[in-house]
Structure 1
């Protein structure tokens, strides 16, 4: 253990101050302007290290107090939509919404004679129940696109491809019909 006398040995010996001489002249003091310039230089260096530049406003949003801001709690619909967008689920959600609301979007009469087949990259493929309905749906495609824009958002469905009916395969087997066989409709 060191005693109290050891700490006194570390301090410089007091010097005598002549009478009438200010203490500031005896001690070499840094002028206040130089201290201020050094502090400003340190503050600028710290700001540069954090990525801040003169004249550029910080990217942190300014809170106005009572107005809603981005850090406030958001409704679940907005939060779920942002989550779906960030995770890349939007195309699957659009297809699910389209299939779920198919009769509501295209109308009950069209929904009775037309079914959803696939949707990829803005191309909606549907299958008609007969060749007559397939021809009718090809003529109604622009009106259907307008309904899809209203229901799903603009530019989600950009083209409608209409397929005809699929019949039974009578081409093989013991009961095969010779000749052309049935052609038009199976519904």
Structure 2
């Protein structure tokens, strides 16, 4: 361009192209490859398709890649690997002291489950008698807190009785 505003033919016309070529050489020297228009169109098409799937609302039953609640995932795993009995037994044993009256919780400790019976180790024979006397009420409390069928019976044993194979 001249001072009068009239364009001149010459070196200034090639300045943008020279800069573009220089930037291409620098990019190539840095390990970047040049992408032709056809390849770029394919990349853009895939990117647009991916963007459309991301914007799509999740289906009612959930797409395979949708995030799932952790509780549901653990439930599926426990069913698949047969951990349900062990987990429910652990829940019952862990909740024993919180559910039963404090006097019973301090003197009788839940040790585990034997089928649907909760094994409780008591400090003395008198506490064994108390547990047997109030078994129905205690089973009701446990089932109310942990769900119906969690415990069907309580098997109290004294502190010095022999341990049998139980799940804890």
TM-score, normalising length from structure 2?
0.54
- Structure 2, unaligned stretches of length 5 or more? 1-56, 162-168
Match of 2:94 in 1: 100
Q: How many residues align?
A: 103
2:60 maps to which of 64, 68, 82: 68
Match of 1:124 in 2: 118
- Structure 1, unaligned stretches of length 5 or more? 1-64, 168-187
CA contact (8 A) 2:92 2:150 kept: no
Match of 1:77 in 2: 71
Structure label with greater radius of gyration: 1
Match of 1:13 in 2: none
Give deviations 1:133-182, integer Å, cap 9, x for gaps.
11111111101111121222211211111123428xxxxxxxxxxxxxxx
SS at match of 2:134: helix
Match of 1:144 in 2: 138
Separation in structure 1 between the aligned mates of residue 68 and residue 103 of structure 2, nearest angstrom: 40
Which residues of 2 match residues 21-32 of structure 1 at below 5 A? Answer: none
Separation in structure 1 between the aligned mates of residue 59 and residue 133 of structure 2, nearest angstrom: 50
Normalized per residue, the structure richer in helix is 2
Q: Which 4+ stretches in 1 moved above 6 angstroms?
A: none
Are the structure 2 counterparts of residues 105 and 68 from structure 1 closer, same or farther at C-alpha, using a change threshold of 3 Å?
farther
SS at match of 1:154: coil
Relative contact order (alpha carbons < 8 A, sep ≥ 6): 1 or 2 greater? 2
